[in-house]
Amino acid sequence: MAAVTADDAEEIVDALEHYDVKEKLGGEAPLTAVWRAVHRSSGQEVAIKRIRVSGINRSLRECLDCELNFLASVRHPNIIRLMDVARSDGSIFLVLEYCAGGDLAAYIRQNGRVHEHVARKFMIQLGSGLKVLRARHIIHRDLKPENILLTTHTSEAILKVADFGLSRIVCPGEYADAVCGSPLYMAPEVMLFQKYDDKVDMWSIGVILFELLNGYLPFHGRNNVQLLRNIGDSTSLPFSQVILPSLHPDSIDICTRLLCKNPAFRMSFDEFSNHKFFRK
C-alpha cells in the first residue's frame, strides 16, 4: 500500500467528486493506477482504477473497449463488478468493487502451498468465472494470481477474476497473435509468436493450479528465451517430492493436461470443467 499524493487525489476528485481516496493499491505505471476509496454518502469501499488513454495504441484501445463492454454487461460472483465509469482529459476511471482480501499472489505468499480441497474450491470459482468469458468468446490473456482478487484473507474467500485490460474477443475458428501477458503464466505458443486461441487461458490456469498445490511455479527463466527452453526441455512437471506421495492422481493429471506444451492436445475448457479433479 502507498500513500495518496495530492495530485492523485485532485485528479480523482475532479472525475469522481463523490469519493474520498484512502490509499494506493497498485497498478502498472504510467498506464494504470488503482486506489482504495470510500463513497462519501454511503461509506461503501470501492477500488478506483485509472487508465491513461492518451497515446495508447490501437490494440490496447481495442482491449480497453473489450474490458469496458464486458464488465458493463456482466453480473457474476466470480467476476469483478464494475460500478461506475468516469472520464477526464486523457484518462478513464473505473469504479470497481473492493476486495478486502487482496489478491491470490499475496495469499500464496502468506500461506504457501494449499491443500487439494482448497485448490479445488478456488479452481471451481475460477472455472465459473472463465465460463462467462467462454460464453462471450473472450480470452483474458493475463490470468495470474495478481489478477485474481479475494473477498477475505481466508480459504473461504470468494474469488474474482479481474483486470481485463488485455482481453479480446476471439470467435471459434479465429486466432490472436499479439504477444501479451505475464511470461511466467504465458503459454509457450504466445512467446513463440504463434497464432493462438482460448487454450492460452487454460495454460495460465494450469500454472496457477500447480502453484497453489506446490507453493512455487512449474517453470522459471531469467528471460523469455530461457523460460521457453526450460518449458521445452521438461519431460514432466516438477511436483514437490514432499507432497507428491499424498497428491491424488486426478490432481497430477489435470495439471499435466493443462500444462501440455502443444495447444492442440492441451485440455479444453469443457474438459477442465468435467475433470474428475472436481468430483470430490
- Cell numbers 478513464 label which residue? 92
**By the 8 A CB rule, do 98 and 47 touch?**
yes
**By the 8 A CB rule, do 227 and 221 touch?**
yes
In what side-by-side order are the strands of the sheet with 32-39? 19-26, 32-39, 45-52, 91-97, 82-88
Give catalytic status of residue 89 as yes or no: no
Half-sphere exposure of 25 (CA within 13 A, CB side): 24
Half-sphere exposure of 217 (CA within 13 A, CB side): 16
Q: Which of 129, 120, 131, 134 is nearest to 147 (CA)?
A: 129
Catalytic, out of 20, 65, 103, 142: 142
Residues identified as active-site: 142
